Structure 1
Amino acid sequence: MQSDTRTISEHCRSANLKTERVRIAITLPTFRRPEHLIATLDSLEALNAGDEAAVVVMDNDAEVLEGAAAAAEWLKTARLKGMVIVAHQRGNCHAYNAGWQTALQTFPELEHIAVIDDDELATPGWLDRLRKTAERTGADLVGGPQTPVFSDPSLERWRKHPVFQPHYDRTGPVPILYSSGNVMISRAVLDAMPRPFLDPAFNFIGGGDSDFYRRAKARGFTFAWCAEAAVMETLPSRRTEFSWLNARSLRNGAISAIIEKRQDPGVAGRLRRMGKSVALLLASPVRGVKMWARTGSAVAGLYHLQVAAGRLMAEAGLVNEQYRNPESN
């Protein structure tokens, strides 16, 4: 398979990148965060993974290329080797697809792809812990927590809001994963899944990862969680504003309805989804009071109501494209 140079182009690579030695490619999508991108790369270099790991940076801003330029300069002196590509089509699904495709093409002995975002920092042992969990459990895909780090310490109270909570709290096999911000995927999964890996229909609403995991599960692939393999996610203060939390909660509901529609299309499927959404709406006051009591936050208590509303809005075709304007996300 050859890269489509209209949509993917190589910007640079380490001068002494030994492609045949690489077993794990760490794919790192970026969009207009050059300073934090360098911090992410520094955290990856600190893992001391050796020649068996390489980083693939995917700049999704083909116009300005701030990330590509910053990463290219970083690679000149870094112990961690890798390459920088440009994903010319805007959207996070396009960026992920470009990185995964490039890794498969570039590293003939590739065994796993790991993913970290450009607003995250790898913790010590991150890569090794994901891999060991995969070996121990036999899972094809292993995820880990994205621990929030708020830019203002006074915002720590928001940590208990559901949108910032990990989906699992114990290491071991799990039914499925939901986020691509911290995950390791075996090559067998990528070899088996149809291209594009992530459906571009989810580019600006999110959920392409959840849809990918659902399809991978349908093909018999298995999942695990590694609670010790955390990444630290830097959160700007705007992500604690009600408008952002409301939009994210509504979006979560919409994504769940959209994915269920793909699994169960047709009139009967829609009736089942509507019934589930209405049931969630009716249950949301009681669930909300419990959430409020547990977190001490009335805003967090609205989460279940917002998810139910988001599901119903999606049935009417009203889906918030929260990633359409990354600067405000």
Structure 2
Amino acid sequence: MTPEPASVSEHARSAGLKPETVRIAVTLPTFRRPDHLTMTLDSLQAQGLGSETAIIVMENDADGLEGARAAADWLQSSHVKVIVIVAHNRGNCHAYNAGWDKALAEFPKLTHIAVIDDDEIAGPGWLSGLMKTGQKTGADIVGGPQVPVFADKSLDGWRRHPVFTPHYLTTGPVPILYSSGNVLISRPVLDMMPRPFLDPAFNFIGGGDSDFYRRAKARGFSFAWSAEAAVMETLMSRRAEFSWLNARSLRNGAISSILEKRQWPGMPGRVRTFAKSLALLAAAPWRGLRLGLQTGSAVIGLYHIQVALGRLMEEFGLVNEQYRNPESN
């Protein structure tokens, strides 16, 4: 990977911020959700953060700047220390990289970076839960559940869909993580991993976090899960629509294929990945039938078929860039 263009600017910062006292940076990417961003910041303030913790808000809409302005207004009346930056290059990987680079450059005694998204609310004891699990297990990277909360409560039944369910249920060491929406990363990981941390090739399809974790695992870093460190993810009604669920499931399949090809490069790897895709497609109807019976939903039962099809579509260059048009996501 080549370095990203230096296209980051600082928009605002809290008065009295003392960088030398900060050991934990909570990085918060945002894109056109100013109202919910404020709610996320409120939930972080409720954590009882002290002077050893600061928040970095990464605005990724350099034209609108709604999130940057909302965060700048919010920090005026908060005791929590905040830096607001603008990642001028569009894409979630650019936003994450900008925040992580800023934290490392700004805070000389930094030990950890935490991540929460601007459509999430931190539960009570969120950050302390991640830290405690990391200390107890010795894991380098700790993740926690993103609990789906539909704005329309009548849609709560869709929480059983695999795109919303957590990968793990109990606290302790795990083989690997998959999402960056609720995670704690230790300083040694950031010092050893090459930059940019998240590959911009994944900017609009997602999966940059999974790719980062795979590369971190290959370097010997360990993972854990903190079931107590939950965030609540606010979901709009469109995420219960078939079109969105189908697009996300196909995308998940495509990402898994891309990551496997990176893990197994060359023609033998492509053949291996394609063979696995065919095997998954063959098994998908039976797996889907079982899932549909378990959840009582034929739509949910389609998930394994959609993932297998997404893998095969990727072989022909058909990958859904679900983040390209945020209004439909």
Which range, TM-score by smaller chain? over 0.9
Q: How much has 1:5 moved relative to structure 2?
A: 8.6
Q: Indicate the residue corresponding to 1:102 in structure 2.
A: 102
2:97, 2:198 within 8 Å by CA — same for their partners in 1? yes
CA 1:263–1:4: 2 relative to 1, 3 Å: closer
- For each residue in 1:52-76, what CA deviation from the matched residue of structure 2 results, as whole angstroms up to 9, or x when unmatched? 1100000000011000000001011
Give the letter for the 2:98 counterpart.
A
Give the letter for the 2:119 counterpart.
D
Q: How much has 1:140 moved relative to structure 2?
A: 0.2
Q: TM-score, with normalisation over the residues of structure 1?
A: 0.98
- For each residue in 1:64-121, what CA deviation from the matched residue of structure 2 results, as whole angstroms up to 9, or x when unmatched? 1000000001011101111000000000000000000000000111000000000000
Q: Indicate the residue corresponding to 2:211 in structure 1.
A: 211
1:10, 1:86 within 8 Å by CA — same for their partners in 2? yes
Listed as ranges, the gaps of 5+ residues in structure 2 are: none
Q: Indicate the residue corresponding to 2:174 in structure 1.
A: 174
Q: Does 2:187 correspond to 1:190?
A: no
Identity of aligned residues (%): 72
Q: Distance in 1 between matches of 2:197 and 2:132?
A: 25
Q: How does 1:1-329 map to 2 (within 5 A)?
A: 6-329=6-329
2:251, 2:319 within 8 Å by CA — same for their partners in 1? yes
1:140, 1:222 within 8 Å by CA — same for their partners in 2? yes
- For each residue in 1:29-51, what CA deviation from the matched residue of structure 2 results, as whole angstroms up to 9, or x when unmatched? 00000000000000000000211
Q: TM-score, with normalisation over the residues of structure 2?
A: 0.98
Give the letter for the 2:35 counterpart.
E
Between stretches 206-215 and 293-302, larger displacement belongs to 293-302
Q: Distance in 2 between matches of 1:55 and 1:248?
A: 30
Listed as ranges, the gaps of 5+ residues in structure 1 are: none
Q: How much has 1:271 moved relative to structure 2?
A: 1.1
2:4, 2:196 within 8 Å by CA — same for their partners in 1? no
> Where does structure 1 differ by over 4 angstroms across 4 or more consecutive aligned residues?
3-6
Q: How much has 1:260 moved relative to structure 2?
A: 0.5
- For each residue in 1:207-260, what CA deviation from the matched residue of structure 2 results, as whole angstroms up to 9, or x when unmatched? 000000000000000000001100000000000000000000000000000000
Between stretches 259-268 and 164-173, larger displacement belongs to 259-268
CA 1:321–1:271: 2 relative to 1, 3 Å: same
What SS is found at the alignment partner of 1:213? helix
Give the letter for the 1:208 counterpart.
G
* Number of residue equivalences: 327
Give the letter for the 2:110 counterpart.
L
Question: What is the Cα-based RMSD across aligned positions, in Å?
Answer: 1.1
